[in-house]
């Protein structure tokens, strides 16, 4: 399959890579139908976040489920889904307290810039370096989606990708900014 692969700062290529495979019975494989490029992808491209090995970029994607692992109960082949940026198990303390970006189980190998394991860690993120689990991202024809019962959300029929893709990371980021800034609907900010 074809994918956008980061090699080193300012060296990103469209290449042939292996198709993703189910690695855990809780995985799904999603055939990407739409993706977006985030401004934070530029942090990786410019070398702000170190990444020693090639990896598929992208954390804003949606698509159609092609395959599910034996323990996936909420999705089936053919379901259209939008996939959030964080990879989360749905069972740890953080996931139960609506903090999936801090999932205790989705980032087993949290390495710092110098290669050592860090004490504090964040959860796994698609296409966002080994600092966040080293998961390949969504700028590919297909993506392995871990913990598929928890993250992906089914998309209603008749709703075009262009109206749903923003739910991956773009809209939640804006909403969080407004919420954190205590914005009120009667206020106007310029």
Measure the CA dihedral 71/77/82/88, to 10°.
Answer: 10
Q: What is the pLDDT of residue 109?
A: 66
Kindly state the tokens that stand for 137: 């991202």
Architecture of the CATH domain 2-180: Alpha-Beta Complex (3.90)
With H, G, I as helix, E, B as strand and everything else as coil, classify residue 172. Answer: helix
Contacts of 75 (CB under 8 A, 6+ apart): 28, 65, 68, 81, 148, 149, 152, 154
Reduced DSSP (H G I as helix, E B as strand, rest coil) percent helix, strand, coil of the chain, to 5: 15, 25, 55
With H, G, I as helix, E, B as strand and everything else as coil, classify residue 4. Answer: strand
Euclidean distance between CA atoms 190 and 69, whole angstroms: 48
Nearest to 6 by CA among 69, 50, 70, 62: 50
Percent of the chain with pLDDT over 70: 85
Q: What pLDDT digit, counting tens, does each position of 126-151 carry?
A: 998 888 888 999 999 999 999 999 99
Of 114 and 152, the one with more pLDDT? 152
Nearest to 17 by CA among 152, 125, 143: 143
pTM (2 decimals)?
A: 0.86
- Contact by Cβ (8 Å): 128, 42: no
């Amino acid at each position: 399959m074809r994918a956008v692969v980061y090699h080193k700062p300012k060296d990103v290529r469209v290449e042939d890579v292996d198709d993703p495979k189910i690695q855990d019975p809780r995985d799904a494989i999603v055939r990407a139908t739409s993706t977006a490029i985030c401004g934070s992808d530029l942090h990786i491209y410019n070398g702000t976040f170190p990444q020693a090995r090639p990896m598929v970029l992208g954390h804003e994607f949606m698509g159609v489920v092609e395959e599910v692992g034996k323990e996936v109960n909420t999705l089936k082949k053919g379901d259209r889904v939008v996939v959030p940026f964080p990879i989360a198990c749905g069972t740890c303390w953080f996931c139960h307290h609506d903090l999936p970006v801090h999932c205790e189980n989705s980032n087993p190998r949290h390495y710092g810039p110098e290669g050592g394991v860090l004490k504090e860690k964040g959860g796994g993120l698609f296409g966002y370096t080994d600092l966040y689990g080293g998961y390949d991202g969504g700028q590919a024809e297909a993506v392995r989606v871990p913990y598929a019962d928890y993250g992906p959300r089914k998309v209603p029929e008749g709703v075009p990708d262009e109206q749903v893709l923003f739910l991956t990371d773009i809209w939640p980021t804006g909403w969080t900014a407004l919420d954190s800034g205590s914005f009120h609907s009667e206020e106007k900010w310029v």
